[in-house]
Amino acid sequence: MIDRFHPTSAEFKERVFNGGNIKGVIEKLDYIQGLGVNGIMLTPFYQTNGYHGYHITDYDKVDSHFGTWSDVNLLVQEVHKRNMIIVADFVPNHCHISNSLYADGKHKDWFLFDIEGKVKGFANLDFLPMFNTDNAEVQQFFIDRGLKLCEVGFDAIRLDHATGPTYNFWKTFNAALKKQYPNVQIIGEVWGKLDFKPRNPFRYFLNKLRYSAQEARQMEYIGILDGVFDFRYQELICNAVKTNRGLEGNTKLKRSITKHFANYPSVFQL
């Protein structure tokens, strides 16, 4: 989390920003690598209304709290110098209400509205209008920004709230980026039931009978994305801890994990 990791700029300690920035991350790369880490993932660095970066107000500018595009480029270069990888965090599901795409009133068909004309807000938050990701202009807008991340040199892109945008959007987005950057990894955050719709309802129903609901949700993205963050694996670990079975020497847990990984093709990254 850029704002919380190694704060270096006291002048920005307002509106809950804590002074962390991209230069601070660069300063600590040797320390990070010394921990045995072989890659880092950043929170979003675009202009934002919140210290965490997920309430984006401009998809073309780096937030002044965090730095500049030159800082982003330098960070990627320094990470690669150390033979590490770097992952960008991408938020195409929603933006902040002050983003000009919404605020200017000229892109109404870029967003989702209910039958009464009220904008659909992410997690029912009115200040986070959700994009209509089946709109071709919206798709191209985010493809262009995704390509910019690839051009900068990010090795992978983490897709925030991947259950929000449609499967068609992700197929189009993935194909467009892979056409120019075949090695970039497109990894989705598929977690929980918020905004989730099965790609194949019958298959999803059967998978829910055979596996957990989280497992079934993750499996719907096979063939759509390169992989997902493995929250089912997290569930297995947490359940073992909560039931006091422990981790080391837990043969039941080992069987569950082995079975879990076997549910996915080898090319799908967990």
Active site residue ranges? 160, 189
DSSP of 46-79: EEESSTTS-SEEEEEEE-TTT--HHHHHHHHHHH
- Closest by Cα among 134, 54, 44 to 94: 54
Q: Measured between alpha carbons, how far is 169 from 195 in angstroms, rounded to an integer?
A: 14
Q: Measured between alpha carbons, how far is 155 from 158 in angstroms, rounded to an integer?
A: 10
Q: Within 10 A of 233 (CB to CB), how many other CB atoms are there?
A: 17
Amino acid code (one letter) for 153: G
Is the distance from CB of 264 to CB of 221 less than 8 angstroms?
A: no
CA distances from 196 to 73, 115, 117, 160, 162 (A): 34, 20, 22, 13, 9
Beta strand 46-48 with 56-62 is antiparallel
DSSP of 184-211: -EEEE---SSTT---SSHHHHHHHHHHS
Residue 127 is encoded by which pair of tokens? 């200040």
Is the distance from CB of 221 to CB of 266 less than 8 angstroms?
A: no
Is the distance from CB of 58 to CB of 46 less than 8 angstroms?
A: yes
Helix-then-strand count for the chain, H and E: 10, 7
